[in-house]
Amino acid sequence: MKNIIFGILILSATLSFTTGNGKLSGENGKLSGVVTYKDYYELSNHADAGSEIYAINEADVKSTQYGDLSDIIESFQRNKSDYSLAKYNTLDIARIIKLQDNFDTASKFAFNYISRFKKLPTIVKTSTNGKGNYTLSLRPGRYYILVISGNIKSNNIIESKGNIEYKIANIKSAGENFLDINFEKSENIMIMLITAWQRQGC
């Protein structure tokens, strides 16, 4: 009798097994890809080992205060680009200081926002292996994908441990889905552009 009860318990546990996403593993789709990085002068990419990948279903986050992740990241990257370009494109010190202040403000806001975002209870996380590969098992739906580079870093509060990238992925039930990410040392690209531009005010 004890063996029968034990067998029933094992069977129940097996049938009720769920992934971190809260769905039976057989219903999930697989999201996989490779994260790479390169310098501006290189032709080939390198495996971005140790990159962090965060995924969350849009339905789980859309109605929360974290539903505007794309706007936050776009604002940060726009301010970063404006400030980086101005450093090499103008001698107007007041303009550079203003853009730096805007960038610092956007960086701090994005840092606090993403720090909390990564702790959401329904978020799924993984990291790339030595070859830059990753795989996630996700229930079907539309996902926000946040990637933090393991090798490319920048001199600002949010990217001091790795540059960030944001994507959208649509996951199909029991299907194969692929999403590759490539990081570039964008700060070095600015150096190339020095000779291409005449500084404003020259």
Q: Using one digit for the tens of pLDDT, what is the confidence trace for 117-149? A: 999 999 999 999 999 999 999 999 999 999 999
Cβ neighbors of 38 (< 8 A, separation 6 or more) are: 44, 45, 46, 182, 183, 184, 185
pLDDT attached to residue 187: 54
Amino acid at 133: N
Q: What is the mean pLDDT of residues 176-186?
A: 91
Q: What is the mean pLDDT of residues 16-21?
A: 38
pLDDT attached to residue 64: 84
**173, pLDDT greater than 90:** no
Minimal CA–CA distance to 110: which of 54, 70, 64? 70
Minimal CA–CA distance to 178: which of 152, 150, 145? 145
Minimal CA–CA distance to 107: which of 68, 82, 69, 80? 80
Distance CA 29, CA 31 (A): 7
pLDDT attached to residue 87: 76
Top-confidence residue, 199 or 101: 101
Q: What is the mean pLDDT of residues 34-50?
A: 91
- Report the mean per-residue pLDDT for the chain: 82
pLDDT attached to residue 47: 97
Structural domains in the chain?
28-190 (2.60.40.1120)
pTM of the model: 0.77
Q: What angle do CA 9, 10, 11 make, to 5 degrees?
A: 90
**16, pLDDT greater than 50:** no
Q: Do 159 and 153 contact (CB within 8 A), yes or no?
A: yes
Residue percentage of the chain with pLDDT more than 70:
79
Q: Using one digit for the tens of pLDDT, what is the confidence trace for 76-122? A: 999 998 888 887 777 778 888 998 899 999 999 999 999 999 999 99
